[in-house]
A and B are shown apart, each in its own frame.
Chain A
Amino acid sequence: MFKKILIANRGEIAVRIIRACREIGIATVAVYSDVDRAALHVRKSDEAYAIGPAAASESYLRMDKILDIAKRSGAEAIHPGYGFLSENAKFAQACADAGLKFIGPTPRSMEMMGSKTRARQQMEKAGVPFVPGTSRGLASSEEGEQVAERIGYPVMLKAAAGGGGKGMRLVHTRQELRSALESAQSEAQRSFGDGEVYIEKAIINPRHIEMQVLADEHGNTVWLGERECSIQRRHQKVLEESPSPMVDNDMRRRMGEVAVKVAQAAHYTNAGTIEFLVDQQRNFYFLEMNTRLQVEHPVTELITGLDLVHLQIRIAAGEKLLFTQSDVQLRGHAIECRIYAEDPDNNYFPSPGKITLLLQPSGPGIRRDGGIYEGWTVPMDYDPLLAKLIGYGSDRQQAIMRLERALAEYFVGGIKTNISLFLRILGDADFRAGKLDTGYLDRLLGKANPAISTFSRKSDVAMTKIETPGAQLLEKIAAIATGMFTVLDPAAPAKNGNAGATSLAPCRWKQKGRAEALR
């Protein structure tokens, strides 16, 4: 086993990996940019070294600096987390060249899965179902028109190197195809430095369901159940759950077997995720493979009872998987909420800044993976993910109830967060019924917010709305609270217990003085 690991990441995932290392008894090395000196991952690590300015391109993406610190600190392995360098085959190769173990797949597997067209060619050979279309870039718009004619409109044009919706166009008719192809190619060229664009049949309102796999370096590959990831905004996942409400045992087994086939075709090792698009007839198609640990890995951990980061480290250290597919039992239901620093009242604008108050939930069935603390200033330079709140229950209903309870306990003051969005989703009838697809969240946000139409949450909300007695009572409570905050000197908070004469005695003179001055 390794004695020391460098974590080439920041935020909640760096803290998550540091915790796993500590549990196994491995020393940790953190790296940080100038704005992250006070970040939680630096505080929690055994060693920490500066790697440059705030911009990720000058710090967390600098392979040379990270490798240099790994060598100087005596780390034997590097865990890349997710994002940053985690899916960079060059970095994995550079680690190997420097005699460091990269905790993840080999550079060859990463390269094969990094290009969507190359991955499709491999999967075609392995007999994996994928969305009908081409497995090579389109040479001309005539070729595109021919293929589209064969598979039927609507079709989707996609950049081979793409991601995040860039270089992607939905085409409904033959007339639109030529200009859509040209703009997709130029956007792909600008965004990824690669103008290759291929075509596939568009699946309208698909579900996005992914399968977790784990492979050791001795040829053993297992699948660990699916994650339902259809709740997205701007191609960014917001809430994930496992199991998916639409997947039954038979479909799960078939998806799992295909996922293992995909991983084996890529000679894949370590933790990976196979993404599928699922149509309304419950046909599933291979979409792509994510060659890293996913943000949403905790839901799989809760329903399998496995620790994926422990297993990643053990696999990288050359250990064999100590269980087989038939040992994997899924139990209960887990749902993850991604708590982002963004403003729900202002079109989900990012909201970095200082956290002035932090009240965090705990209790049965609640797991919190966070990278924040009260008094910390959330920098503006990185992804807005603050923490993940995961609810576990013996069934979906209980997981939802526990999360609703925990979200009501959760308070982040000083910055805006999307906590209120999750209360809306969890209370929504379609969500409760499991009627989800990738258009779900945009539809929900398009509806009037029921909470705002009954309560006037803010002074700038029109006052003509019907007010329930509940809202009036809450307003009165708020009025009394405003006064009580002022009279109970917040600079000298009262001790727990009765706010009677005893706890306030020390301030009496001050209050008397203040009262006199006001006369």
Chain B
Amino acid sequence: MVYEVIVAGKPHRLELEKADRGWVCRLDGQPVAIDAVIPRPDVLSLLVDGHSYEIKREKTASDLHIWVGSDCFTAELRDPRSLRSRQKSGGDETGPRKILAPMPGRVVRLLVREKSEVEAGQGIVVVEAMKMQNEIKSPKKGVVQKISAIPGAAVNPGDVLAIVE
């Protein structure tokens, strides 16, 4: 099987073939001697040239995180033959940006009105969680197109609080 793996923004070509004993692995064309077991869900014991690594996998609402020791990498696996994977690429840095709730909490108050101009880093909404009030800030300079957060309402991570364009 051939995969395109994107780790910390960089693509790698990964070939994995099942052999009689273990796996034959080529990374970016280079053969790598590996052995791997999953001792429990989301934990991988990986031997690379005899070096032992304990890897943890974490799936968030939007990302896949791969932890090697205390280092965390955002990873994405694409199968080059899959159309869906190919379509998924491409950024959206320009245009409207959604402001998402980073954690579950309760909306305390709004700091701006719709249609008002905001600077990058300006507070938009205050969300309370764990006895702390947290200002959720605008990721860019622009105009607040829509505020969907309602004071007093509960929010979940990934919920859209506002849209800035």
A contact residues vs B (CB 8 Å cutoff): 341-343, 346, 349-353, 356-357, 359, 380-384, 407-408, 411, 413-414, 419-420, 423, 455-461, 463, 474-488, 490, 493-501, 503-504, 511, 515, 518-519
Whether A490 lies near B41 (C-beta < 8 A) is yes
Residues in B78-112 with C-beta less than 8 Å from chain A: 79, 81-82, 102-106
Task: Write out, one digit per residue, whether chain B residues 27-60 have a CB within 8 A of any chain A CB (1) or not (0).
Answer: 1000010111111111110101000010111110
Q: How far is it, in angstroms, between the C-alpha of A15 and the C-alpha of B58 when the chains are bound?
A: 28
**Chain B residues closer than 8 Å to A349, beta-carbon distance:** 102-103, 129, 132, 134
9 closest A-B pairs by beta carbon, nearest first, are A350-B130, A478-B73, A481-B55, A459-B9, A499-B37, A380-B129, A384-B130, A479-B12, A350-B129
B contact residues vs A (CB 8 Å cutoff): 1, 3, 5, 7-10, 12, 14, 16, 18, 20-23, 25, 27, 32, 34-44, 46, 48, 53, 55-59, 64, 66-77, 79, 81-82, 102-106, 129-132, 134, 157
Known A350-B130, A490-B41, A499-B37; contact A484-B16, beta-carbon cutoff 8 A:
yes
Q: What are 25 A-B interface contacts by the 8 Å CB criterion?
A: A341-B130, A357-B43, A384-B132, A411-B56, A411-B67, A413-B56, A413-B58, A458-B73, A459-B9, A461-B8, A474-B71, A475-B7, A480-B14, A480-B48, A481-B36, A482-B77, A483-B14, A483-B25, A484-B36, A485-B55, A486-B3, A493-B39, A494-B39, A497-B37, A501-B21
**Chain B residues closer than 8 Å to A413, beta-carbon distance:** 42, 56-58
Whether A481 lies near B37 (C-beta < 8 A) is no
A476: nearest chain-B partner, CB-CB: B27
Whether B66 lies near A352 (C-beta < 8 A) is no
Known A459-B9, A475-B73; contact A484-B42, beta-carbon cutoff 8 A:
no
Whether A474 lies near B3 (C-beta < 8 A) is no
User: Given B8, B18, B57, B129, which contacts A352 in the complex, CB threshold below 8 Å?
Assistant: B129
- Count CB-based A-B contacts (< 8 Å): 201
Whether A380 lies near B71 (C-beta < 8 A) is no
Whether A414 lies near B130 (C-beta < 8 A) is no
Q: How far is it, in angstroms, between the C-alpha of A411 and the C-alpha of B72 when the chains are bound?
A: 11
Whether A482 lies near B5 (C-beta < 8 A) is yes
**Chain A residues closer than 8 Å to B82, beta-carbon distance:** 518
Whether B75 lies near A484 (C-beta < 8 A) is no
Q: How far is it, in angstroms, between the C-alpha of A500 and the C-alpha of B37 when the chains are bound?
A: 9
Q: How far is it, in angstroms, between the C-alpha of A504 and the C-alpha of B21 when the chains are bound?
A: 10
Whether A515 lies near B1 (C-beta < 8 A) is yes
User: Given A357, A384, A481, A519, which contacts B46 in the complex, CB threshold below 8 Å?
Assistant: A481
